[in-house]
Amino acid sequence: MSSKKHWSPGAEVSVQCVERSDFGGWIVSGSLTPSGICPDCGLHSRRRHGWRRRRLQDYPAHGEEVTVDLAICRWRCLAPACPRRTFADQLTSIAHPFARSTSRVGEIVSHLGHATGGRPAERLLHRLGLGVSDYTVLRQLKKRAQGTAKPPTVIGIDDWSWRKSQTYGTIIVDLERRVVIDILEDRDVVTCTNWLKRHPEVKVISRDRCGLYA
C-alpha cells in the first residue's frame, strides 16, 4: 500500500491501482476522500448520489506520462432552503476547476514557460514525460499572470518564442516581484504600445537588447 501512496497527487486521494495505459504511460486509479459539504449552504450531506470521474495529468514517472483517474463522490443536498439539489466534492487542493492537469503540473509548466519560452518548454516537458503543447504553456502563463493583482511599476519586456520557434510573442515581467504579468501573442510595437497605454502606472521599462522595443 505504501508504494501506491507515492502515486497519489495529494493526501486526500487514495490510490487503488496503478496500471500501464494502452497508449504508453501510467494510469493511476484513485478516489477522493468523500466530504459531502454543500458548496452553497455549507451543510454536511450523508445522502450519496453516485460518483463522477475526472482525469488529470500528473507528474510523470520514469519519463512517461501519468494520468490520474479519480472517482469523486456526488451528493444530494437535503437542506430545504438550499437551491442546490446535487453537488460533487471539490478537488481544490489538487486541481483548479476544469483544469486538465494537477496544479503541481501547472506550476512546472509555467516555470519552464517563463524560463525558456513556449516551444523550448514544450520540448523539455516532452522529454520529461509531460506531453503539453506550447499553447498549453502560453495558457498556463496567462492564467498565472491574471492572478497578479497589484499594478506593476517596474517591468521588463522580452521576446518569448512559441509555435515551433517561428512565432515570437512578448513576455512582460514585473521586475520588482519577479513574476510574469502578461504574454502578448506577437512582438509588434503597436501591441506593446497599446499594452503600455492600458498600464499608465508603469514607470520604468527594461528592454531586451535587440532594439525591437526601442
Q: Quick check: 89 binds Zn ion (CB under 5 A)?
A: no
Q: Quick check: 77 binds Zn ion (CB under 5 A)?
A: yes
Nearest to 78 by CA among 39, 46, 50: 46
CB of 79 vs Zn ion, minimal distance in Å: 5
Q: Residue 200 phi/psi, 5° resolution? A: -65, -15
135 and 123 in contact (C-beta within 8 Å)?
no
Q: Quick check: 37 binds Zn ion (CB under 5 A)?
A: no
Distances (CA, A) of 134 to 56, 148, 157: 18, 22, 20
Q: Quick check: 38 binds Zn ion (CB under 5 A)?
A: yes
Footprint (CB under 5 A) of Zn ion, residues 99-158: none
Which one, 79 or 88, has the nearer CB to Zn ion? 79
Which one, 84 or 126, has the nearer CB to Zn ion? 84
Q: Which stretch binds Zn ion (CB under 5 A): 15-23, 77-85, 162-170, 188-196?
A: 77-85
- State the chain's maximal CA–CA distance in angstroms: 65
Q: Quick check: 79 binds Zn ion (CB under 5 A)?
A: yes
191 and 157 in contact (C-beta within 8 Å)?
no
Q: Quick check: 82 binds Zn ion (CB under 5 A)?
A: yes
113 and 140 in contact (C-beta within 8 Å)?
yes
- Contacts to Zn ion by CB under 5 A: 38, 40-41, 77, 79, 82, 84
